[in-house]
Amino acid sequence: MTTRFFDYINLHKGEEKGEKVLENIRANITFKGANLWILACAIIIASVGLNVNSTAVIIGAMLISPLMGPIVGAGFALGTYNFLLLKIAIKNLVIATIVSLLVSAIYFYISPFKDVQSELLARTSPTIYDVLIAFFGGLVGVISITRVEKGNPIPGVAIATALMPPLCTAGYGLATFNISYFFGAFYLYTINCFFICIATFLVIKYLKYPIASTLDTQKERRIRYGISLLIVVMIIPSFYLAYTLFQEKKFTKTVEAFIDSEFIDRGYTVIYKRINYNTTPKKVELAFLDKKLTEDNVLLYNRLLKERGLDNVALTFKQDEKDIKSEILNELSKQDRSFAEKDIIINDLKKELAKYKVNEPNLINEITILFPSLTEVSIGKVERYSNTDSIRLDWLILYNQKEEEVPIDGKLLNDWLKTRLKADSILLVQGNKPLIGQVNRPIK
């Protein structure tokens, strides 16, 4: 039973030959010629995606990025004590990093749009979760590389570990001289690189790849201690950032619950709300539609907030109409960019629908009065091909007629409708049979 279990988790099954794996890794390490051009193009695509807040574009950039090569190469070199390969891998990783930073910084410097979008902001505060993603993503990547059948995990690893967006965000920090963004994003990039490398090192050691050079016990111990120290150095800040993020979420949730119970549930209409965790004291700003508060009320609500366990928090109420208007306009201006693309699509759809809109509410009544034998009259517009193969919109009148009545004069109805609607042509359809005009495309 135990043997069968180990067969299921045995990584040696389906393993590629070590020489072939080393050959593939060497081929993907160097950043020269085509690889460097692909990297630069991927950086620009990712920067544009961050600039316009497009997740799809950012994912596309991650898929074509060749950055994984030297990182996996460094991990493989460490695992086999191939210090020449390690030197080449680190050198190329440094070149790729510098090129990426320069290209993204130049793009963001010349770009007229420098607003901080949510996709960009998400890469400035790495946490322990990013460490886990990088490590397990690296495990999947190196296991795939060492298989005869590579499968399709590599694109998923490229997306999950997200090497490209943090580099572009660091470039944005350089271009806008925002040091906190630069260091936050570059730390995330470093985390990803380091833990992909460590995952590769562990798998290569587990698979017992032949070592390139023999080390004495003291040097081998020094390498292990160095790796352990670097792991601690990388993880501790991420734990702190994760704790800070947890505290911020907890603070925001408590404040939201306070606002709901004390104001919204009591019928107050909150038209403006801002919660700022990163100030001293922390700030909560509110504005109501028509409720004015006295100084005593403000002190009371601050005391109630403190009773909820929220110390060192300043709760303020904007009651001056000019201030409220200014703040709302500022908030709207921040949102304008993110909604701009949707607004354009909506406006285009409105224009398209307007072409088919019928603004003749009394037309059916007039038709049934003048032609009382008609029933089930419907009015619309339909696209038709003209003799010049261009598409035009024509009026379409669908109707039925009482069986006992004499058939109407179709030409008379057609001429009257042309005059009434000021139209060049009218398409009259009784049931499914055209009476006047020809339909050149099916009507659904």
Distance, CA of 114 to CA of 175 (rounded, Å): 9
Cα 216 to Cα 75, 81, 85, 213, distances in angstroms? 20, 12, 19, 10
Quote the pLDDT of residue 381.
74
Distance, CA of 211 to CA of 377 (rounded, Å): 86
The 3-state DSSP composition of the chain as helix, strand, coil percent (nearest 5) reads 60, 10, 25
Q: Which domains does the chain have, with CATH numbers?
A: 2-214 (1.20.1080), 248-351 (3.30.300), 363-436 (3.30.300)
Distance, CA of 32 to CA of 25 (rounded, Å): 15
Q: Which of 36-40, 385-389, 408-412, 432-436 has the highest mean pLDDT?
A: 36-40
CB contact burial 111-133 (16+ within 10 A = b; e otherwise): eeeeebbebbebbbbbbbebbeb
Quote the pLDDT of residue 442.
35
Tokens standing for 82?
């191939």
Quote the pLDDT of residue 338.
46
Assign 438 a pLDDT band (cuts: 50, 70, 90): very low
Q: Contact 297/313 with Cβ under 8 angstroms?
A: no
Average pLDDT score, the chain: 77
Assign 387 a pLDDT band (cuts: 50, 70, 90): low
Assign 435 a pLDDT band (cuts: 50, 70, 90): very low
Question: Residue 397 pairs with which residues in a beta bridge?
Answer: 379, 428
Average pLDDT (253-281) is 82
Q: Is the pLDDT of residue 441 over 50?
A: no
Distance, CA of 171 to CA of 182 (rounded, Å): 7
Q: Contact 50/58 with Cβ under 8 angstroms?
A: yes
Q: What is the DSSP string of 120-168?
A: HHTTSS--HHHHHHHHHHHHHHHHHHTBSS--SHHHHHHHHH--HHHHH
Average pLDDT (142-154) is 72
Quote the pLDDT of residue 436.
45
Higher pLDDT pick, 253 / 332: 253
Residue 177's φ and ψ, nearest 5 degrees, are 60, 35
Q: Is the pLDDT of residue 423 over 70?
A: yes
Quote the pLDDT of residue 102.
93
Q: Contact 124/185 with Cβ under 8 angstroms?
A: yes
Residue type, 390: S
Minimum mean pLDDT range among 233-247, 307-321, 381-395:
381-395
For the stretch 152-206, pLDDT in tens is: 566 666 676 678 888 888 988 998 888 888 988 888 888 888 888 888 888 888 8
For the stretch 276-309, pLDDT in tens is: 887 778 888 888 877 778 888 888 888 888 888 8
Residues 6+ apart with CB under 8 A from 299: none
Q: How many CB atoms lie within 10 A of CB 46?
A: 32
Quote the pLDDT of residue 443.
34
Quote the pLDDT of residue 106.
92
Number of continuous H segments (helices) and E segments (strands) in the chain: 16, 7
Higher pLDDT pick, 124 / 332: 124
Q: Is the pLDDT of residue 433 over 60?
A: no
Distance, CA of 377 to CA of 400 (rounded, Å): 7
Q: Contact 237/245 with Cβ under 8 angstroms?
A: no
Q: Is the pLDDT of residue 145 over 70?
A: yes
Tokens standing for 335?
């949102």
Assign 321 a pLDDT band (cuts: 50, 70, 90): low
Quote the pLDDT of residue 388.
56
Q: Is the peptide bond before 153 cis (omega within 30 degrees of 0)?
A: no
Assign 225 a pLDDT band (cuts: 50, 70, 90): confident
